[in-house]
Amino acid sequence: MHKPRIYIDTSVIGGCFDAEFKLWSTLLFEDFISGKKIAVISETTLEELTDAPIDVKSQIKKIPEGYLEVIELSEEILLLANDYMKSGILGEKSREDALHIASATVFEVDVIVSWNFKHIVNLDKIRKFNAVNLLKGYRYIDIRTPMEVISYE
């Protein structure tokens, strides 16, 4: 059985400690911990976590080794992120967000999950990311919130 590979950004990890997002982020982490889904993060995620509170940093360590993938930054990811920025989807201040989308796209995850409604989970931006992806020969990427991808069993 195919286990969904779900790219999570730091908003989902930090969401486990935020009153507004805690329920849904925690339920998604339970899916990862139980092995129902595979969590995918990138070097960008790990870099963003360096300045996070200790409880947020340690959240990712709860996922068993076999259910966590880490994407290494590559030239291909950097080029695609630059394409998003050149297309005007995101500005230089949102470079990390572009790297998250590019990492997930290049490594063909099943879905990107985020609580970042301004730069990632935004219908207009999703359409633009996918326009660039298709133009550059990548497949369509699905972007959702944790509440849309948790197991309802």
Q: Which CATH number characterizes residue 101's domain?
A: 3.40.50.1010
Confidence at 124, pLDDT banded by 50, 70, 90: very high
How confident is the model at residue 28, as a pLDDT? 98
Q: Is residue 153 part of a domain?
A: no
**Residue where the block lists tokens 């995918």:** 40
| Beta bridge partners of residue 111, listed in sequence order | 6
If one counts the domains in the chain, the total is 1
Domain that holds residue 12: 5-148
Asked whether the predicted pLDDT for residue 152 surpasses 90, the reply is: no
Asked whether the predicted pLDDT for residue 1 surpasses 80, the reply is: no
DSSP state of 112: E
Q: Which strand ranges, in their side-by-side order, compose the sheet holding 5-8?
A: 68-71, 38-42, 5-8, 111-113, 143-144
Q: Is residue 112 part of a domain?
A: yes
* Percent of the chain residues past pLDDT 70, beyond the cut: 99
**Residue where the block lists tokens 């990390």:** 96
How confident is the model at residue 151, as a pLDDT? 85
Q: What is the mean pLDDT of residues 101-106?
A: 98
Residues across the chain: 153
Asked whether the predicted pLDDT for residue 122 surpasses 90, the reply is: yes
List the structure tokens of 132: 């660039």
Asked whether the predicted pLDDT for residue 153 surpasses 90, the reply is: no
Asked whether the predicted pLDDT for residue 4 surpasses 80, the reply is: yes
pLDDT in tens, 83-92: 999 999 999 9
Confidence at 46, pLDDT banded by 50, 70, 90: very high
